[in-house]
């Protein structure tokens, strides 16, 4: 599947989530973050971007404030704006200097999920750098 197709599939899944409960579709931003986004960050980024491990490039991804403040080059995510979100540019591996994770590109589904998260306005219920 092409990344864009995956993105559309996820969006379709999200809009259908909760359907059946009196026919109303519900999307829970906090739950979406906890179940789909946080595990990717934990598995792929925390080893270099969290207070439990390293805070490389001065960027911490273990709290909302972390990516809002961002690293050496400012905020890592601009909610709703893929082009101006350095985090998205980095995971797309467009150039080798800023490619993240540095060694291995994420699987397309994980890139699509992170893009979806940014497009949805980057909901993040974490208020501190607790795991
Ligand atoms: C093996 C360590 C390592 C991993 C894993 C890693 N990073 Fe990084 N990251 C770095 C280092 C080192 C820098 C600073 C130097 C640079 O830009 O290469 C950095 C910088 C960044 C920056 C730029 C920060 C700034 O303001 O300059 C972003 C955005 C970023 N990483 C996102 C991510 C994301 C998202 C993940 C997980 C998908 C991730 N990184 C995984 C080591 C890592």
Question: Which residue shows structure tokens 């589904």?
Answer: 109
pLDDT tier, 8 (very low <50, low <70, confident <90, very high otherwise): confident
CA of 28 to the centre of ligand 1 (A): 28
Centre of ligand 1 from the C-alpha of residue 25, in Å: 36
* 76 CA: nearest ligand 1 atom: 29
Q: Give the whole-angstrom CA distance, residue 57 versus residue 43.
A: 18
Q: What is the pLDDT of residues 66-88, one digit of tens each?
A: 999 999 999 999 999 999 999 99
């Amino acid at each position: 599947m092409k990344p864009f197709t995956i993105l559309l599939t996820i969006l379709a899944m999200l809009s259908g989530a909760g359907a059946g409960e009196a026919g109303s579709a519900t999307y829970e931003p906090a739950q979406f973050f906890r179940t789909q986004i946080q595990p990717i960050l934990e598995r792929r980024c925390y080893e270099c971007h969290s207070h439990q491990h390293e805070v490389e490039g001065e960027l911490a991804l273990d709290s909302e404030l972390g990516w809002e403040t961002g690293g050496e080059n400012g905020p890592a995510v601009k909610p709703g704006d893929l082009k101006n979100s350095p985090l998205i540019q980095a995971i797309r591996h467009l150039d080798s200097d800023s490619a993240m994770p540095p060694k291995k590109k994420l699987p397309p589904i994980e890139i699509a999920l992170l893009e979806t998260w940014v497009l949805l306005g980057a909901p993040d219920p974490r208020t501190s750098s607790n795991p």
